Structure 1
Amino acid sequence: MTSTTSQQELIRFLEDRFACAQACTECARACALRASLVDPGGTEEQELARRKGIMCAEVCDATCRVLSEQNSVDEAGIRVQVEWCRTVCLESAQVFDRQPGAEDTARSCRACARACSDFLTTLT
């Protein structure tokens, strides 16, 4: 591997890491907003959407924090966190698909899951 290749891989890694953190931030905002719009005393499906929104926001926020840290988390720890985030985002998108008016939140969740997948490819 040449020095230029290593540098290009590092740049891609950092760009994908930043894109993933940015997508996590956007998703966390969208999910938190969506959760705050749902009446906690609503239907069972609305309550599921509210809980999923809160959980997704928390997982995305935690993932963003992990990605922002310099060297305090090893690659295996980062991988687990990002994979968890991707899974929660996809599950949340499915729940939001069933909620009228939640299309933008579902889109944010899917975008975050894609960014997580893209970032994970740089870890292999």
Structure 2
Amino acid sequence: MLNYLTAGLLLAAGPVFADDIVMFQAPSGNIHCMMIDGEYAETRCDIREFTPSFTDFPADCEGDWGDSLGISPGDRRGRAICHGDTVMMQENPVIGYGNSIEHGGMTCEIAQQGVTCFNAGGAGFSIARAQQAVF
């Protein structure tokens, strides 16, 4: 478990803090995540290379689909995100396998098989090259 003293603190080999935002990537560089605290609390992870699990492209989505999953503190289920942006940034610090991060009432666990994020109610998502799921 990683613990941090203050928002705005940048730790070497730790997540980037900017106000209430934590950003990081898995060691493979294939999965990047952003955790937001406060009024707009949300956790989102994007994946670059993957076999899509979400293949029913929504008619109302005018962006990318299936490569981004999210959860908010009060959600009862994670969700796939229709988006036109990304949280993938080369400067996102790498968080090693076997670590977890808690921020904004949500937790992300980083494993070789992928990243799993969930809220206090247990709802969330898992994102990996082989499969993406919401629960």
TM > 0.5: no
TM-score (norm 2): 0.28
Structure of greater Rg? 1
TM-score (norm 1): 0.29
Q: Which structure features the higher share of helix residues?
A: 1
Higher relative contact order (CA 8 A, sep 6+): 1
